[in-house]
A and B are shown apart, each in its own frame.
Chain A
């Protein structure tokens, strides 16, 4: 009965590869997000989707592309992975753009 789930939990890959992280929420929320938590533990928003439309895109390299097939899913695709992409990525969701956000368990990405 997990509310916000992410797969995989851990992802280890080589520089230059392309990888995807999946997120699903079963809360019926309309808005979903991707956050990045770096090695210094700062948590920063990357993307926000409301009803499958992008509404926030912070200064994120265009190697990162979110894809929302439906409002319950927001996947993060990363092209040409770099060492600096190593971080924990969190998905979150909320009812609307102004509402409380609920986070997933995180995906730890390690780029070698």
Chain B
């Protein structure tokens, strides 16, 4: 059972920023927030993760609220190839490799 809540689906216009929210109100102090995505018929792809500070890499930015009860994944300039299911996962990384995927958010980028 996933410990996160995400909207079932979202649309975004091509070239615009896609902001995907995730609620994790029961997150513990030693749990990280991970984001993966799954493009149709492919394996899940790692995007980004963070503990409490905001993070940015070549794919996306992760904004975590100060109380850590929610976060937002930002794709700054969405393209059609970003259409996928996006999974927000919380996990304890110390001595634990168990990742529990929920239903995710189906993001559709439209031209």
Interface residues, chain A, with chain B CB atoms under 8 Å away: 4, 31, 33, 41-45, 48, 50, 55-56, 90, 92, 94, 96-106
Q: Is B98 in the interface zone, CB < 8 Å from A? A: yes
Pairwise interchain contact B101-A55, C-beta atoms closer than 8 A: no
Q: Closest CB of chain B to A103's CB: distance in Å? A: 3
Partner of A97, one of B38, B46, B87, B96: B96
Q: Is B68 in the interface zone, CB < 8 Å from A? A: no
Pairwise interchain contact B97-A31, C-beta atoms closer than 8 A: yes
The secondary-structure label for the interface of chain B is loop
Pairwise interchain contact B85-A98, C-beta atoms closer than 8 A: no
Interface residues, chain B, with chain A CB atoms under 8 Å away: 34, 38, 41-46, 49, 85, 87, 93-103
A56 to B101, CA, bound (A): 16
Pairwise interchain contact B98-A90, C-beta atoms closer than 8 A: no
- Chain A residues positioned under 8 Å from B44 (CB to CB): 43, 90, 92, 103
Partner of A103, one of B41, B45, B85, B100: B45
